[in-house]
Amino acid sequence: MTIAEFLNPSEWLTADAGPRYVQLRQRLTAGVDQGVLKRGSPLPPEREIASLTDLSRVTVRKAIQALAEDGLVIQKQGSGSFIAENTPKIEQSLSRLTSFTEDMSRRGMVSASRWLERGVFMPSPDEVITLALPSDASVSRIARLRTADDKPMAIERASLPLTILPNPLAVETSLYSVLEEAGFRPVRALQKISAINLGQADADLLEIEPGKAGLKIERISYLADGRVVEFTQSIYRGDAYNFVAELRLAKE
Ligand code: 16G
């Protein structure tokens, strides 16, 4: 397939699938995945992409900018944009409260999960304290191996109060979409990240050698009224993820 055929907007651009620059970014990412756009070769110039897609140059520029932020496109002063040679690490913003499913779909990747545990359990002391559970309450637990384009990315173990998630079996794909429907999507979260060396069991699930580097992430999410929504402990592959935090000078 030629680049012109691949970028033909009637094949992929729709009015109800979100911002046009995001759709173009996903299409160009798919083009690289499918080999229509070759790694290491120049990206067609902005004006050419604009005329092939019937999109404005501003929209095209925004999509290319986003691909550059993803690390998939390298912009070289004076000589245009090139498609990066290597698959970039997934860059995860530390300031946006998004779900795994949303993060992966924003990058044009298909997320999936393998269930490790899902049900209602007696809470551990940590869960009682973190979720502020009454003494006789049970807890909903969902543990999953998360994959992106079939590659294992993370092991996530989430615990939620039954008042927030009464039926853990209701979660089939995205936990945050189930919470959103119930009016319990978290609006704020605290996250703690530490470095670990993967043990045998986690390394096997993530399909890497034991002892390799991983990231342990604990997220506690809250509703606007301060109630805790989730306590999630995750282990991410160290070689697949970059966490990026934006820092600003504090104004007194
Ligand atoms: C993210 C969150 C996790 C949350 C999950 C929901 C981190 C470190 N963790 O992976 O706390 O439970 O998204 O994803 O970012 P889902 O809606 O796709 O199930």
Q: What is the pLDDT of residues 183-200, one digit of tens each?
A: 999 999 999 999 999 999
Distance of CA 16 to the CA centre of its chain: 21
What is the Cα Rg of the chain in Å? 21
What's the rounded mean pLDDT across residues 100-119? 90
What pLDDT is recorded for position 244?
A: 77
What's the rounded mean pLDDT across residues 196-212? 94
Mean per-residue pLDDT of the chain: 90
What pLDDT is recorded for position 30?
A: 86
100 CA to middle of ligand 1, Å?
5
Q: Which atom of ligand 1 is nearest to the CA of 177?
A: 17
Q: Is 70 exceeded by the pLDDT of residue 63?
A: yes
Contact 66, 216 (CB under 8 A): no
Distance CA 59, CA 55 (A): 6
Q: In Å, how far are 3, 56, 68, 70 from 49, measured between CA atoms?
A: 9, 9, 16, 19
Length, in residues, of the chain: 252
Band (85; pLDDT cuts 50, 70, 90): confident
Band (56; pLDDT cuts 50, 70, 90): very high
What's the rounded mean pLDDT across residues 16-42? 88
| DSSP category for residue 40 | T
Query: 77 versus 160: which is more confidently predicted?
Result: 160
What pLDDT is recorded for position 241?
A: 75
Contact 74, 95 (CB under 8 A): no
Closest-CA residue, ligand 1 atom 13, reads 99
The residues lining ligand 1, judged by C-beta closer than 6 Å to any ligand atom, are 99-101, 156, 158, 174-176, 217, 219, 230, 232, 234
45 CA to middle of ligand 1, Å?
37
What pLDDT is recorded for position 252?
A: 60
Closest-CA residue, ligand 1 atom 16, reads 174
The pTM is what?
0.67
| DSSP category for residue 184 | -
What pLDDT is recorded for position 103?
A: 85
What pLDDT is recorded for position 32?
A: 86
Band (88; pLDDT cuts 50, 70, 90): low
Q: Which atom of ligand 1 is nearest to the CA of 101?
A: 18
108 CA to middle of ligand 1, Å?
17
Burial of 108 (0-12, 13-18, 19+ CB in 10 A): buried
What pLDDT is recorded for position 87?
A: 62
